[in-house]
Structure 1
Amino acid sequence: MTHWTALVAEKQQRQLKSIPQDWLVSPPPDSTLDVTGFPDACGLLNAREIEITNTSVDALLDKLSCGEWTAVDVTTAFYKRAIVAHQLVNCLTEIFVDRALARAAELDDHFKQTGKVVGPLHGLPISLKDQLCIKGIETTMGYISWIGRYAEKNAVLVDILIECGAVPFVRTNLPQTVMWPETFNNIFGRTTNPYNRSLTPGGSSGGEGALVALKGSPLGVGSDLGGSIRIPSAFCGLYSLRPSYGRVPYCGALNSLEGQDSVLSVFGPMANSIGGVKAFMKAVVNAKPWLKDPLAVRKKWDEDEYNLADHGSGKDLCFAIMWDDGVVVPHPPIRRSLEVTKAALEKAGYKVVDWKPIKHKLLTDTTRNIRNAGSAEDCMITTSVTGEPIIATMDLDNSDAAAAPFRPPKMGITAYQLWQVQKLRKDLRKEYLDHWEETASETGTGRPVDAIICPASSYTATPHGKNRYTNYTAVWNALDYPAATFPVTTVDPILDAKKPRHAFYDDFDKGVYEMYDPERFKNTPVCLQLVGRTLEEEAVIKMTEIVDAALASAK
């Protein structure tokens, strides 16, 4: 058996050779922390390519559908920018330029011959997290043991995206085992945050978050078991959606914990506009994924739901703000973003009430216990093939492994014990449903609260190894509520000065408070979540558009 380090060296060399040599640039020194302006200024992209890569998904699709821009031109522009992004923040895994450009050329030929687009995503380059199998391409998912495993067929979602006219063009980095809210593995290394490379982009879809933030992709696909779409989107200033189980097909993709079907991972979109999120969801669910994935929900895009038929047709909406979850109090920039959003919504004529969280810690502990039932064995079996070490910490100095909460205990639980945990979660979901229904008495609309607005994390992007609290996202996975992220502001050391606190929920809450340094987090994005109820993706997207418009009008 080849030693695992030799396998890594060989794989890294193949990745390097997959990059066109004339697309290599001279990146700024490591001391340059904010690299968001570098792709436009580096000289690799011409003026037209800069224009293309700074265009929103909606506008890109319009220009592609009328023939103003070709799929080859758009794919080339984003590919070049993706390669620049990779040299800045190490966000890519698989790079297949010739294959993607050949696909784009086929789309252009079809358009020339017929005058028609192939589908609703015609010519749009889409990046994919390194779980989504593409026929003939390796999918390692950050495991050295899976180097050399070439997919025999596409994942169902990849087939659907291709049928819709999209151009898959890169795959993106993720942590070993996927189950971590940061991004580092033994093959491809660490991905950094483009707003501050000393900070994490989050995880586990951190490669997607960093790439889309640098506009190296107009639309990315991440996965989310406990926040893995929303955390990197929040840390990188993006719009995203964690849909309910089964709304987006998962069949044919790789994953950790396969066979654990109580708390499911889901795929969802990450983009620089809410329009990109809508375009993805509408295209995918209208492609009838339930005919290709037996676990996909049989529900096409519902325009009535998008128009908020169950929410008074969008009139007199009542939003609830959750200021904290009763476990950890968010840092000052998060609090300010909640206040800004509340003021913008009230200015726009909407009602805003406070949300009382119930049993959030118990909900997240319950789902963690379900995942931990067999996850240690899952990781051990997978890594034992090559003997690669299981990563115990994301800390740069590797000194704080004992504090990492995302590695499961080595001893699992019995099947009967697991059933009891799953039963508890079922009962908690009913309790939360009733709690939401009871808010009808305080909204003044005759309806319960239409959506919850809450933090996506207790902090903005953290130093590497310090993202240790994911309950603000994981609770909605426990409840299977769809949740979108949207950007609000950036950290301002003056507006977001550290204020003294004299009371804490516990020592962990105190530790999170002490981590805050306004200068360290300066200019990093601040995002929030908008949460709806199970399978309400259309309504969640529409209400996120409404909040986004209110914030824009209030500026």
Structure 2
Amino acid sequence: MSAPASNWQSRATEKRASILARISLEWRLSPEDLAKAEGERDITGLVQEHLEAAESRIVASDATAIVSLLRDGTFSATQVATAFCKAAAIAHQIGNCLHEVFFDQAMERAKELDTHFQKTGTVCGPLHGLPISLKDQFHVKGMDTTMGYIESQITTELLSLGAILYCKTSLPQTLLFGETKNNIIGETVNPHNRKLSCGGSSGGEGALQALGGSVLGVGTDIGGSVRIPAAFNGIFSLKPTPERLSYRDVANTNPGQNTYRSTVGFLSTSIAGLELALRATLSTEPWLRDPAVVPIPFRQEIFELYRSRAEGDGKASSRPLKLGILWTDRSVGPHPPIIRGLRQVVEAVKAAGHKIVDWDPPLQATAKRVHVSFLLADGGHDIHSHLDLSGEPLIPDLEEAFELKPPMDLLEYQRLTLEGLDYEQAYSDYWNSTAVDAVIMPVAPHAAVIPGKYYHTAYTEVINLMNYSAAVIPVTKADKSIDVPDITYEPLNDVDKKNWEAYDPEIYDGAPVGVQLVARKFEEEKILAIAEIVSACLARC
């Protein structure tokens, strides 16, 4: 029996109030500060205005630098935790990006770490004192999870490595959405351009990092959910192959659908942060506690092998990289800022002496169709079972997609499984024929999207169907003076027409543009090294 509508509405109001109540009065913004943020298009620099000099230095550093500063005693864990808790508190007030704060718990943890360091002169693991934010799918003892278990395995692993957990970030209702909207806090917008979306489903992570409230966060990805927010917010992300990291006791939508699994991934303000997170987490040997995890430790030899393909500035060594470039998936063509971003990457990589070849794989629309079929296979019954607990409705954006329907027939499920396997094999055969090291492709056909106009998610979903490894790097920003519409463009179909007509240079101006770099299954070390090289190539130009 569903709860009355007023119940979910009042509970949502109480939740919003409880988040704010956990922010100390000294970190609360004045009405004038809030009004200023409301009137700004780009709010990425506003958090820094409220920090002390030492706090600004801390939050402006990347994850590896912070760990180093903690290790040599330049900063204490308490100083670092204070800086990030304060930054996150301000970020939420202007960016609406948190679902849960536990700053008091974080400060107690920091004091314990400082006491240990003072007594022994040693750190408590490779992540000693590093604040890490969590998408609100991961359970933390004593804290709500809006998706309820005691603690996710990866949460326990991060704590064992010395990390400090301090907040949980916003996500969309159902998780299966490329924007971040829900009935709890409404919408999380893009800090670079508040007219646009921060992406989803790890959208709050992307927004928090863009605002300076985190340098390393944990998210999940079943259709693009760590890659989309990274691209939309101008940061980096890593989507591993499922079973590389533990998903044990992580809240999820439709958890019995294991044909195309969701995967735990990382978002960071640097590639080095992604490497630190992967290396540290794998050092805990997660496969010993989660039988779904494949026992593959961090493979330093592979990482170094691919790093050796270039000098530190990205310039090719005696064995340059060979990278494929996917300009379009032949279903929905990218907007002008994305095309310019792809060209910028290609030119930078070529200028550094690496080889680029056009990438024309089997039609990716097939992968999109099969992948979506599995996400909707239960007819929305799992989603509606959760909605019925409180009586809350689906948000308008999801009403049509998740209308309650009969589950997919078993024989159809099996037929689609075989079709998916056939597609994987055809894609693999094509990859073998090209002998590329990795592929550069769009994350979406647009930069950070206008809310309500994300019509085509195939660019990320195809990678989930094949369980490939992928990293996202930032490239540029949309520029209304350069990225003018191509008046000669002929849409390929109705969806392409809708996407093309949604492009408005004025609205998109300032939106981050990122690309994804794709390798094959369980090639996380390889794609991190290649992402480092490509980023260095961009920095040279």
Task: Report the TM range for the smaller structure's normalisation.
Answer: over 0.9
Taking structure 2 as the reference length, the TM-score comes to 0.95
Q: How does 1:302-451 map to 2 (within 5 A)?
A: 302-308=299-305, 315-393=319-397, 406-407=401-402, 410-439=405-434, 448-451=435-438
How far apart, CA to CA, are the structure 2 residues paired with 1:170 and 1:159? 15
How far apart, CA to CA, are the structure 1 residues paired with 2:292 and 2:502? 42
- Label 1:502 to 1:73 Cα distance change in 2 as closer, same or farther (>3 A): closer
Taking structure 1 as the reference length, the TM-score comes to 0.92
- Label 1:274 to 1:111 Cα distance change in 2 as closer, same or farther (>3 A): same
Q: Is the 8 A contact 1:224 1:265 kept in 2?
A: yes
Counterpart among 159, 170, 173 of residue 162 in structure 1: 159
Matched residue SS, 2:11: helix
How far apart, CA to CA, are the structure 1 residues paired with 2:489 and 2:230? 32
- Label 1:29 to 1:299 Cα distance change in 2 as closer, same or farther (>3 A): closer
Per-residue CA deviation, residues 139-181 of structure 1 (Å, 9 max, x unaligned), is 112xxxxxxx4x4x32000010011111111000001111111
> 1:37 maps to what in 2?
45
Q: Please, which moves more after superposition, 105-114 or 452-461?
A: 105-114
Q: How does 1:99-498 map to 2 (within 5 A)?
A: 99-141=105-147, 149=148, 151=149, 153-308=150-305, 315-393=319-397, 406-407=401-402, 410-439=405-434, 448-498=435-485
Give the drift of 1:408.
5.9
Give the drift of 1:330.
0.2
Matched residue SS, 1:352: strand
Give the drift of 1:69.
0.8
Matched residue SS, 1:171: strand
Amino acid at match of 1:31: G
- Label 1:122 to 1:29 Cα distance change in 2 as closer, same or farther (>3 A): closer
Query: What is the total number of aligned residue pairs between the two structures?
Result: 526
How far apart, CA to CA, are the structure 2 residues paired with 1:224 and 1:387? 27
Per-residue CA deviation, residues 462-482 of structure 1 (Å, 9 max, x unaligned), is 222112211111110001111
- Label 1:29 to 1:63 Cα distance change in 2 as closer, same or farther (>3 A): closer
> 1:549 maps to what in 2?
536
How far apart, CA to CA, are the structure 2 residues paired with 1:88 and 1:238? 19
Q: Is the 8 A contact 1:95 1:169 kept in 2?
A: yes
Matched, 1:67 2:73: yes
Matched residue SS, 1:121: coil
Per-residue CA deviation, residues 215-266 of structure 1 (Å, 9 max, x unaligned), is 1011011110100111111110010011101111110111111111111111
Q: Is the 8 A contact 1:392 1:407 kept in 2?
A: no
Q: Is the 8 A contact 2:307 2:530 kept in 1?
A: no
> 1:526 maps to what in 2?
513
Please list every run of 5 or more consecutive structure 1 residues that lacks an aligned counterpart in the other structure.
142-148, 395-400, 440-447
Counterpart among 9, 14, 31 of residue 13 in structure 2: 9
Matched residue SS, 1:374: coil
How far apart, CA to CA, are the structure 2 residues paired with 1:137 and 1:29? 29
Please list every run of 5 or more consecutive structure 2 residues that lacks an aligned counterpart in the other structure.
311-316
Amino acid at match of 2:407: G
Matched residue SS, 1:393: helix
Per-residue CA deviation, residues 44-85 of structure 1 (Å, 9 max, x unaligned), is x11110111101111111111111111110111011011111
Q: Please, which moves more after superposition, 477-486 or 105-114?
A: 105-114
- Label 1:312 to 1:23 Cα distance change in 2 as closer, same or farther (>3 A): closer
> 1:397 maps to what in 2?
none
- Label 1:281 to 1:181 Cα distance change in 2 as closer, same or farther (>3 A): same
Give the drift of 1:319.
0.7
Amino acid at match of 2:374: I
How far apart, CA to CA, are the structure 2 residues paired with 1:386 and 1:197? 30
Q: Is the 8 A contact 1:326 1:357 kept in 2?
A: no
> 1:85 maps to what in 2?
91
Matched residue SS, 1:6: helix
Q: Is the 8 A contact 2:306 2:529 kept in 1?
A: no
Amino acid at match of 1:34: D
Q: Is the 8 A contact 2:91 2:97 kept in 1?
A: yes
> 2:314 maps to what in 1?
none
How far apart, CA to CA, are the structure 1 residues paired with 2:154 and 2:117? 23
Q: Is the 8 A contact 1:311 1:317 kept in 2?
A: no
How far apart, CA to CA, are the structure 1 residues paired with 2:496 and 2:283? 44
Give the drift of 1:6.
2.1
Per-residue CA deviation, residues 472-529 of structure 1 (Å, 9 max, x unaligned), is 1111000111111001111111221111134221121111111111111111111001
How far apart, CA to CA, are the structure 2 residues paired with 1:79 and 1:418? 46
Amino acid at match of 1:491: A
Q: Is the 8 A contact 1:372 1:408 kept in 2?
A: no
How far apart, CA to CA, are the structure 2 residues paired with 1:157 and 1:471? 29
Q: Is the 8 A contact 1:118 1:164 kept in 2?
A: yes
Give the drift of 1:29.
4.7
Amino acid at match of 2:337: P
Amino acid at match of 2:535: D
Q: CA RMSD in A?
A: 1.6
How far apart, CA to CA, are the structure 2 residues paired with 1:310 and 1:36? 32
How far apart, CA to CA, are the structure 2 residues paired with 1:471 and 1:286? 34
- Label 1:293 to 1:336 Cα distance change in 2 as closer, same or farther (>3 A): same
How far apart, CA to CA, are the structure 2 residues paired with 1:113 and 1:309? 41
Matched residue SS, 1:384: helix
Amino acid at match of 1:37: G
Matched, 1:20 2:15: no
Give the drift of 1:310.
11
How far apart, CA to CA, are the structure 1 residues paired with 2:403 and 2:433? 36
Amino acid at match of 1:370: F
How far apart, CA to CA, are the structure 2 residues paired with 1:525 and 1:252? 33
